[in-house]
Structure 1
């Protein structure tokens, strides 16, 4: 349970992305915003790091491109083209995508209850953040959905490959952020040209995104990634849109309607339900072994 609570801090920090990007960062520069979020803090974390072998470096950088490079680029494209709540809502599809990925890649057929719980979160976040007058930008819509796919695949590969036994989480995080950040830098230079002017608001936003929203959040995430299942991690990601909407209410003076409170309840039920189901599934083999042992003793 401690691992779950600690890991939940990462998506809560990620939930600040929409507010910071829309109010502090330069408009219409999603790739530079993504680059400033990932590359500086990644390089800083590698100042005293030891570079691993070519095999491990390729694996970690590949995961970094998915977890950071493509994910950040698509996320900020969606954020700039869609209201933050819409982009967050589409993030609710990640648990379903993670379940389907595990089914295809590992042959782990989802339990009906697990799939139902995952699907429950989508209308929940929809009730929480969608407004009747919303007009969806098709590019932003596709970008938001693909960002979830990129992160789901990156999380899966990170868990499958792991990291060298002698490599600390600090170095592992720095390598992923740097690998993804380099890809973002190339895309930003090609598609957006010169970096933005560093006004006070841009500097403040970039510092928050780099240090708290990325450096700290990803360090926490990668430190707990081996202790939780891919599905658990995906469900915890739902804390990000909940945080985004809550910040909008507190800082922008928004008020939740009864429908939005219903949505919040559905999301929380989905999160809690998945954790309880996972704990029950993990406990079953041990319980079965205990029953067999008891029978043998009895005989």
Structure 2
């Protein structure tokens, strides 16, 4: 019963966070930190009621796994700080054990749902919402040196693959064909993502409207020196104050998509799969 209550509260927290992320592009700390507190407190109550202290430890393990994955995604600039803290909250609420790896199942679903969701949102932004801004940048990207070198590489790979087809069996030919197709798809997906980033995601922000954690798209210089670097995970409050002191009015910021809805979709799918297939459904699907 207590586990069910934790799952329901996690779903409610994700729904609130998803709404806020879509509405204002920000996940409130009250939601993510609150979910961490609820998860640990719930785990403690479960341990006390069942007189099994190890159950509380599993919720701490879940928090640590969420923190590890969230930190990696944050510092690789794939997620914002709110997304990372939200995963910590989910880990604390779900817990983690090797016998019932519900958290790992969620992470697997999040990767799959996140990829599909991100692709759909990106296509919508590029081809529908910001088409006039995207198409010129996409054409310019196709003419860039990096893309030219990639095309040369694809031609060489294709030539080598065609020659190799004469010397291998049928199974290997199929493998070579899929590999070549994958190389072409990944290359043009990379070109598309670069054009989306430059034409849709990068926008000019007034320094007065910057918030801690925003991604700076270009190095910011003052007096010939770089004062804020673009390769940092997110701008800090001290750096924002420095920009104001140097009278810098605007900076280029890279906006991300509202990604928390992917968390909500993945969690809902997780519950549905566990209800339909039982605990450990991911292990059951393995050959």
TM-score computed with the length of structure 2 as normaliser? 0.25
Which protein is richer in strand relative to its size?
Answer: 2
Which protein is richer in helix relative to its size?
Answer: 1
Q: Which is greater in Rg?
A: 2
Structure showing greater relative contact order (alpha-carbon pairs closer than 8 Å, 6 or more residues apart): 1
